[in-house]
Amino acid sequence: MNAMKQVLYFGFSTLALKGLGFALLPISTRLLTQSQFGELNFLVSISAVLSLLLCLGLPELIFKQQSANPKQKLALFRDSILLSILINGLFLITTLMFTEPLLSLLPVALNPIDIKFLAINLVLSSALTILFCYLRYYEMAKHFLWLALLQGISQTTITITFLYLGYGVTGVMASGILASLLTLVVTTSIVLKNITISFNVIKWTISYKDTLFLCSIIMSSLFVYTNNGAENWFIVESVGKEKLAQYYVALQFAIMTSFTFEPIRMWWFSRRFKELSACPKNYVYLCELSLDIGILLCTIMLVLTPFVFTLVLPSNYLLNSWLLPSLICIVVLRHHSDLLNIGCYIHRNGFYVSAVNGISALTALILLVILVPLKGILGAVIALFIAQLIKTLLFFFISQKLEKLPYSIKRLIPSWVGFSTIYLLSISQLEHLLLWQVAFFTIYTAALFKKYKSPIRTALNTLFERSAHD
């Protein structure tokens, strides 16, 4: 399957899942009280950090390890699945046995059954993550699409049913378990029949060096959560569950911006190591192209999301007009740090990944401790922006020192200027704001078209030729 088809399949699956989640927002914000919605969001925040840890960095290891022997790669999938089962099994047993002590560590009161359901959800999701990596690596994008839709549609349907039946937050947690279990059964039947390498043929493949890499990714994941999620703890502790609910809803719209880029990310991340080893010059071109696409998508969302936000949500969830554009600005910085960091991943067993994320996380924690009690949600946004900016700059400069690549700062100027201008317009509250945004967006897209005129024409000609033959 060619690259364009893969991107389209991954794109449709990602956008469909995010669309289903987005469709739940106006329903859940009306069927749950603001306090319940804040509690649900805090559980999601816990889930975010634990899911990073329970994946053990195995997806990164799977995509990083290149082998000319196909059986060796299958053995790596085998060992990744076994290791995931072991660690996640221990996590589930520990959580079920010590639920009450764990609840006492949290800054907000939660229902014990919700924590238990959350643990089961996390274990099922971790198993699915490894199996979905198999589908991505072997370019089974169509299978990935149908399985993702199976999980998303079933979970959405069950969630709405449980919410209308009055099961509240517990119903949402239960729906995740049922949908993940159904998807896991189907995915396992597809994937495991292809992973039949015995230990007599190939021994355990995860080496000591690989373990160091996994440890660095796990540490990095903790730091990533500090940059993207720890603010929930400070917000709920300082200003309560209701304010957390308002912040979280705005954050979901910003994350929706990130998810529009996810098809490119999924396709690119699974092949970037291979692309770099094959042709560094082409790697740089594709990386800059991906970044331009990411910034363009964020710019589009700057224009669209504030209108959708006011249209679909209850009025008590609307906060200051600067919040959503500023969160989208942080997403843009995140795209830079995600794409311009390859050197940190391929040298020193990923040590610099942990180091950079650690510095950024420490910065975020210090600023959150200082700013959130003083300025509330504004303080959280300022802290996250500064931490993400430091992370982006460190990743780029250290990566360039380790693996010098011919990036062109000049080539990215149109995207930076276009996004910055429309961001400033978004928070300015000018009269005829939309008209100004559309005018500058037209200039911005014209500049991008001029930059990529040749590949765009080639792609269109190829598309038209195929249509003519069909």
Identify the residue whose tokens are 């399957």.
1
Looking at every residue in the chain, the average pLDDT score rounds to 83
Q: For position 469, what pLDDT does the model report? A: 53
pLDDT in tens, 345-365: 888 767 788 888 889 989 999
Residue partners of 232: CB distance under 8 A and separation at least 6: 41, 42, 45, 244, 247, 248
Specify which of 187-196, 282-291, 382-391, 401-410 reaches the highest per-range mean pLDDT: 382-391
| Complete DSSP assignment for 130-177 | HHHHHHHHTT-HHHHHHHHHHHHHHHHHHHHHHHHTT-HHHHHHHHHH
HSE value, Cβ hemisphere, 13 Å, CA-based, for 195? 22
Query: What is the mean predicted confidence (pLDDT) over 254-261?
Result: 78
Question: 465 falls in which pLDDT band (50, 70, 90)?
Answer: low
- Which of 337, 326, 334, 315 is CA-nearest to residue 426? 326
Identity (one letter) of the amino acid at 55? C
